[in-house]
Amino acid sequence: MSEEAVDVLIVGAGAAGAAFAWSLAETRMNVVCLEQGGWMKPEEYPTAGVDWEMRRLGDFGMSPNSRGRKEDYPVNDSESPISISNFNAVGGSTILYAAHFPRFHPGDFKTKTLDGVGDDWPVDYAQLAPYYDVNARMMGVAGLAGDPANPHHDFPLPPVPLGKIGETLARGFNKLGWHWWPSDSAIATRDYEGRAKCINLGPCIMGCAQGAKGSTDVTYWPLAVRQGVEVRTQCRVREVTLGANGLADGVVYYDADGVERRQKAEIVVIACNGVGTPRLLLNSVSKEFPDGLANNSGLVGKNLMFHPYAMVNGVFDEPIEGYKGPTGCCLMSQEFYETDLSRGFVRGYTIETLRGNGPVSTALAGLGGDIPWGDDHHREFANRFDRSAGMVVICEDLPEEHNSVTIDTDLVDSDGIPSPKINYKLSENSRKMLDHSVARGTEILEAAGAHNVLSQAPLQPAGWHLMGTARMGTDPAKSVVNEWGRSHDVKNLFIIDGSIFVTAAAVNPTNTIQALTLYIADTIKKNLSNLFD
Amino acid sequence: MSEGTQQSPFSADQRRALVCVLDRIIPPSADAKMPGAGELGLADHIEQVLRKTPDLLSTITDGLEAADERAAGSGEKAFERLPDSERSRVLAELSTTHPGFLPSLIFHTYVGYYQHPTVVAALGMETHPPYPTGFPMEPGDLTLLDGVKQRTQMYRDA
Ligand SMILES: Cc1cc2nc3c(=O)[nH]c(=O)nc-3n(C[C@H](O)[C@H](O)[C@H](O)COP(=O)(O)OP(=O)(O)OC[C@H]3O[C@@H](n4cnc5c(N)ncnc54)[C@H](O)[C@@H]3O)c2cc1C
């Protein structure tokens, strides 16, 4: 097995790896994906048990440092106010994601031209639009056409229910005359392509037991596998190796038993996310690339972008049925999305409203004193349970070289591979944007009738969106990959995840990661005869 | 060994004190709709937690013994003999002398209490996990969007 070269070797079976594999499957090339995690069993997800709320503090937590699964690798994020969240399995971080699925705006690809910050992308909205459409069909995106904040796009599925909380907050937005719209959501709101419809279980961020959420283990992967793609699970790649001709010739990985193996390949595609990808490249050191593979620009691991998040919550007088319905998908507002310098910062943010909590989470959220022990306990619990809700705010982060992923040689995973280290500082622009968003969030909640409004900004566990660490561009001195994801330095090496983002926009990234991946896969298919020229 | 036959990590006195402490952390509600955490049997839940996190055991047992000792100091034989107001006072004092005791017990009491079927039912929720039944929801009133629909293009062309 190991001495035979496969045509295409993908590392990482998450959002990007899955879409890419599906797209290439039609070529009938020999496509293999190596993934350090395994296949998940949706029927074992937390919402199938009475202790469902607590498992977010255990094996379904967001942080690989506390989750304690064998397939996780530790991340040193002690030098960052925002910590890394991910999941390692077939489906990658989409196993946990909230499935909030907006598109970038056309202007997000042109921040330099429009606002003099960041850089323009070498691709634009018009080029990606057809791939957003394919992705909507493949992931099963629910929504409502006609949003004035976005270019027109249609949806295969009707929007997620607003619920009582959505209607309550919508009235608040309306009172202020501010934009809102039902969220684009990768959630099957009707039975769809073999997936059962959403039954409003609640915490999508602990995996969807119903299989209604569009995680790639239930969308792209089954189709890709049926068409002949091989997913080799529990296989953790240590490094990409370089042949004598200056091309990547395969990878070295550890299998489920920890045995070191080698897989040769004609084309190597990296899809390990904005932290896993620079980690792999920086660990792939050779005579030709002493500072990490494909790193002649010195930009591998640089320009790490998160979306700094704010969270604003309030308490309502009436029950809001907040524990029902997809946690992170309800409605969103882009009133403050486009640049308006009078606000004191450049670029903008999206507001994503949240539903409420179950009883255990409500009680634990009150541990700070809001829900005391003793005689007042029941009164204060009743004031909050099913009455607390609010929003998160997704702020656009700008690329800054000092925000980075490097290697911590002292911290290793269970196969002994050195781990990533995060260095990140919140910019002044982000700080101002967060403050602005908290003030506006408070106004919205109060207009909707909430009191006791509390906020956190930046939200520490919110390193959900990992971008920019192997940016794309046309100039090899200023970017790691070209306009279709191919390394400037190693002509058969492609990067397809959020690492290649030039800027971050102010929306959740996965729809754009996948649209870009599908675009890259199509470009590869069109250029197969002269791919390495 | 089955759950029922497992040996308690507590002495009989400690267990009696624990039940009273739990009833003070979450007492029965005035309208009797919500049970006290002790009367609900959450001492069993705490025992289960301690089997999984044995490091916590001495923090809890030391705290329980201190509660009994303080009761003795006020002339009673045991914590369980104290009236509610006195129990609260003793527990508040233990926050200073035994700082780990109350916070960890409160955390695990809240967790055990609010996933207990009796409590979940008293809150008006179904007692089974969310899956596979789920929750029905209406689509919601999309006429609320009428004003937003009147707005002109908000994004910039590029
Ligand atoms: C709690 C949470 C909520 C989120 N909510 C949203 C949301 O609402 N909307 C949204 O758009 N995004 C959301 N995200 C982000 C979203 O999940 C990611 O943007 C998306 O999954 C990234 O896709 P990817 O393919 O780049 O990486 P991932 O999906 O992370 O996949 C990378 C895969 O590579 C594998 N891998 C890494 N290194 C190696 C190696 N060396 N060898 C073998 N395999 C390796 C990993 O195991 C993993 O499976 C959320 C994320 C989290 C954690």
A219-242: per-residue pLDDT in tens? 999 999 999 999 999 999 999 999
CA A363/CA B111 separation, integer angstroms: 8
Q: Are residues A225 and A177 in the same domain?
A: no
Q: Is residue B45 part of a domain?
A: yes
End residue of a domain, out of A435, A457, A479: A457
pLDDT given at position A272: 98
Q: Is residue A192 part of a domain?
A: no
Q: Which of A47, A146, A367 sits opposite B131 (nearest CB)?
A: A47
pLDDT higher than 90, residue A533:
no
Q: Is residue A199 part of a domain?
A: no
Q: For residue A236, give both structure tokens.
A: 């953790």
pLDDT given at position B3: 46
CA distance B85 to chain A (A): 10
Residue with tokens 């045509």: A7
End residue of a domain, out of A442, A457, A472: A457
**Nearest-5° Cα angle at A271, A269 to A276:** 125
A179 shares contact with chain B (CB less than 8 Å): yes
**Which is nearest to A435 in space by CA: A356, A345, A352?**
A345
Q: For residue B122, give both structure tokens.
A: 């008293």
Give the relative orientation of helices B101-114 and B84-97 as an angle to the nearest 10 degrees: 120
CA A521/CA A525 separation, integer angstroms: 6
Q: Tell me the pLDDT band of A376, cut-offs 50, 70 and 90.
A: very high
Q: Is residue A195 part of a domain?
A: no
Q: Are residues A417 and A433 in the same domain?
A: no
Q: Is residue A193 part of a domain?
A: no
| Cβ atoms of A169 and A448 closer than 8 Å | yes
What's the structural domain count of chain A? 2
pLDDT given at position A293: 98
Q: Tell me the pLDDT band of A1, cut-offs 50, 70 and 90.
A: very low
Task: Pick left, alpha or beta for residue B17 (phi over 0 → left; psi -120 to 50 → alpha; otherwise beta).
Answer: alpha
pLDDT given at position A531: 87
Question: Which residues make Cβ contacts (< 8 Å) with residue A178, sequence separation at least 6?
Answer: A333, A335, A444
Q: Are residues A167 and A247 in the same domain?
A: no
Q: Are residues A327 and A353 in the same domain?
A: yes
Can you give the residue range of the structural domain that contains A294? 1-140+214-305+400-424+464-533
Question: Which residues make Cβ contacts (< 8 Å) with residue B92, sequence separation at least 6?
Answer: none
Mean per-residue pLDDT, A239-252: 97
pLDDT given at position B76: 72
Q: What is the pLDDT of residues A319-332, one digit of tens each?
A: 998 899 999 999 99
pLDDT given at position B1: 37
Q: Which of B140, B149, B153 sits opposite A161 (nearest CB)?
A: B140
| Cβ atoms of A12 and A270 closer than 8 Å | yes
Helix (H, G, I), strand (E, B) or coil at A306: coil
Q: Is residue A146 part of a domain?
A: no
Q: For residue A499, give both structure tokens.
A: 């690492």
The torsion angles phi and psi of A302, rounded to 5 degrees, stand at -90, 170
What's the structural domain count of chain B? 1
Q: Beta-carbon neighbour count of residue A186 at 10 Å?
A: 33
Contact criterion met (CB < 8 Å) for B131 and A209:
yes
Q: Tell me the pLDDT band of A3, cut-offs 50, 70 and 90.
A: confident
**Nearest-5° Cα angle at B4, B2 to B7:** 90
CA A150/CA A334 separation, integer angstroms: 9
Q: Are residues A419 and A280 in the same domain?
A: yes
Mean per-residue pLDDT, A56-74: 95
Mean per-residue pLDDT, A280-288: 98
Contact criterion met (CB < 8 Å) for B106 and A373:
yes
The torsion angles phi and psi of A340, rounded to 5 degrees, stand at -140, 100
Residues lower than pLDDT 50 in chain B = 1-4
Q: Is residue B62 part of a domain?
A: yes
Q: Tell me the pLDDT band of A168, cut-offs 50, 70 and 90.
A: very high
Q: What is the pLDDT of residues A125-151, one digit of tens each?
A: 999 999 999 999 999 999 999 999 999
Mean per-residue pLDDT, A340-356: 97
The torsion angles phi and psi of A372, rounded to 5 degrees, stand at -75, 160
A150 shares contact with chain B (CB less than 8 Å): yes
Q: Looking at residue A471, which CATH number applies to its domain?
A: 3.50.50.60
Can you give the residue range of the structural domain that contains B18? 7-129
Identify the residue whose C-alpha is closest to ligand 1 atom 31.
A14
pLDDT given at position A136: 98
What share of chain A in percent tops pLDDT 90? 97
Q: Are residues A441 and A347 in the same domain?
A: yes
Mean per-residue pLDDT, A30-57: 96
Q: Are residues A170 and A288 in the same domain?
A: no
Q: Is residue B140 part of a domain?
A: no
CA A349/CA A333 separation, integer angstroms: 9
What ligand 1 atom has the least distance to the C-alpha of A511?
Answer: 11
pLDDT given at position B78: 87
CA A158/CA B117 separation, integer angstroms: 35
Q: Are residues A335 and A433 in the same domain?
A: yes
| In chain A, residues 188-247 whose CB comes closer than 8 Å to chain B | 198-202, 209-210
pLDDT given at position A530: 87
Question: What mean pLDDT is reported for chain B?
Answer: 92
Q: Looking at residue A354, which CATH number applies to its domain?
A: 3.30.410
Q: For residue A196, give both structure tokens.
A: 């059962």
pLDDT given at position B7: 85
- From A34, A272, A353, A391, give the residue whose CB has the most ligand 1 atoms within 8 Å, as the site to mutate: A272
Q: Are residues A282 and A418 in the same domain?
A: yes
Question: What mean pLDDT is reported for chain A?
Answer: 97
CA A497/CA A509 separation, integer angstroms: 10
pLDDT higher than 60, residue A167:
yes
Q: Is residue A208 part of a domain?
A: no
Q: Is residue B137 part of a domain?
A: no
Q: Are residues A3 and A127 in the same domain?
A: yes
Mean per-residue pLDDT, A399-428: 98
In B, minimum Cα distance to A55 occurs at: B111
Identify the residue whose C-alpha is closest to ligand 1 atom 26.
A273
Q: Are residues A135 and A219 in the same domain?
A: yes
pLDDT given at position B97: 94
User: Ligand 1 centroid to A417 CA: how many Å?
Assistant: 19
Q: Are residues A241 and A326 in the same domain?
A: no
Q: Tell me the pLDDT band of A102, cut-offs 50, 70 and 90.
A: very high
CA A520/CA A399 separation, integer angstroms: 22
